[in-house]
Homo-oligomer: A and B are copies of this chain.
Amino acid sequence: MFPGIDAGAFAGPPAATAIFTTVLTEGPVSRVALARRLGLSSAAVTKAARPLIDLGYLHELAATERSGPGAGRPASPLAVRAEREFFLGVKITADEVIGVVCDLRAQVHASARRPLDDPDVDAVLTEVDRLADDLFDAFPGDRTRVRRLGLALSGDIDRGIGLVRYSPFLHWRDVPLGRLAAERTGLTVTVENDVKALTAAEHWFGEGVGAESFALVTVGTGIGCGLVVNGRLVSGSYGVAGEIGHLTVDATGPDCHCGGRGCIESIAGTDAIVAQARERTGRPDLTIDEAVTLARGGHEQVRAVFTRAGGAIGCGIAAVANLVGPTRIVVSGEGLAAYDLFDSHIRASFERQAFGAAARCPLFIRPLPFEEWARAAAAVSIQSLVVP
């Protein structure tokens, strides 16, 4: 059952988990609708929902306007009591820790960030702990309701045991971050790869809701991809999954640090875009923001860099669509802050490369506020409460 006071995770009957997950991700639903949706009898829903209501995780909404024929008792939809519990989410980057406090529905209630100048494990833990304090201070609600912390960082991570197998940018190997952070903060900690966290968050609280399979492509310094197939996140053996950054898309493209040529990342990664823009403008100190401004201002040479990048991203997305056939695709990341320069090119390239009906797969292209990574970490923590 859901925890009363302790930090234990949900361990009730399968029906209760399914009910709570559905209400959480798909919004208020009546018991009868839940029964239909989950293949249960309405009696089973009534019974399984009661303890969730008693514990304060669900509550009944006032009857809403009818949709059907008009007659009959109106439904009393079940809704999640978002403020029943709160979650910290922290994204760890090479030079910063960014944190948020979210409620059960992954709405942000407070946020904070701290610089990081030492990638040493202990130093990072200290900053995470301080950040948690900052978040508690900034959080207007009941602090005793915050009992979980989600951490997200890039690298090879074993979420099950909270182990960072390898983090290239922090130079960590086999760091039991989950245990260490739990000791430091006294919270129940979940650790997940950042792209997977974002994918999971999008699956439960974003555009991926209700999709049996979907893909998230992140565009920034690197190009990454998270996948949900058959309703479950794809983890990948050997610590590898979602690596699309080094697919070849243009053999006439630039050399890539991976040893290949014309990889997506070497064309559409932020660094690659800056490098190309510098080359074409002859300004060796051009920044990405200046490049964006020039492109928006109509500078054809720089514009072409973004066009080409969009084309490369579209190719990568098409590869994903052709291989796993997701129902929907989200394209996001810091690199899309200037998504007005990308959008149509990504779509055109995708539609050209996608196989048959896969071209009909809807694309959601939008920039990603950096805080969103931290929210994703909190979302993973929410998941770990509901589905241990």
Contacts and interface: CB of A to CB of B under 8 A. Distances in A.
Given A240-B356, A356-B238, A358-B238, A247 B325 contact: no
How many copies of the shown chain assemble into the complex? 2
A327 B244 CA distance: 18
A235 interface: yes
A243 B327 contact: no
B248 A249 contact: yes
A308 to B, nearest CB: 14
A364 interface: no
A262 B250 CA distance: 10
Interface string A221-235: 000010101101011
Q: By DSSP majority rule, is chain A's interface helix, strand, loop, or mixed?
A: loop
A12 interface: no
Interface string A143-184: 000000000000010000000000000000000000000000
B262 A251 contact: yes
Interface residues of A, number: 48
A213 interface: yes
A131 to B, nearest CB: 30
Nearest to A356: B240
A63 to B, nearest CB: 36
Interface string A332-364: 000000000000000000001111111011000
Interface of A: 156, 212-213, 225, 227, 229-230, 232, 234-244, 246-252, 259-260, 262, 315, 319-327, 352-358, 360-361
Given A230-B235, A323-B323, 6 more contacts: A213-B237, A229-B229, A238-B361, A239-B357, A246-B322, A324-B324
